[in-house]
Amino acid sequence: MDYAQAYRALSTEERKTLALAADLDPGFRPHLVRDQWSLVKIYFGRRADLGPDEVAQLIEDPDQTVRITCARREDLSAEQVARCVADRDPNLRYFIARNVLLTEEQRQLLLADEDPLVRKAARKGPKRRRLEARPGQAEVIR
């Protein structure tokens, strides 16, 4: 199968459905992680079964919402967590502030953040993310 051609033929709605499919053909994964539409990457980024390379691509995405989706993950590397803590976007810092992977030093940085909502999130402390799957869909991070 020519995955590139088959993927290009899909509508945005079909790509979103594919991004969450429980029976996702591995040949489509590289196309989902590099899709032109941020919304498709956001759906794909919520999957619990992403590999380290896929997470690495998404956490470096220029779209802040794609990065925010990744900031909730509990399988980030120490370098990825540090990148999120230092990100210029307060929304990303807000979401990483509750990540269970933060070091105490990083939590202290976020407790002193210039943005009051980031400080508030950091005060709440770590929050475990739950996994959930709807019928026919892969487990996703909520």
- Structure tokens belonging to residue 88: 């210029």
Cα–Cα distance between 107 and 81 in angstroms, integer?
Answer: 11
Which pTM value belongs to this model?
0.91
Q: Beta partners for 132? A: 140
Cα angle value 129/135/140 (rounded, 5°): 20
pLDDT tens digit string along 15-44? 999 999 999 999 999 999 999 999 999 999
- Structure tokens belonging to residue 111: 């407790």
- For every residue of 32-65, DSSP letters joined together read HHT-S-HHHHHHHHTBTT--HHHHHHHHT-SSHH
Structural domains of the chain, ranges and CATH numbers in brackets? 3-141 (1.25.10.10)
pLDDT tens digit string along 69-102? 999 999 999 999 999 999 999 999 999 999 999 9
CA 88 to chain centre: 17
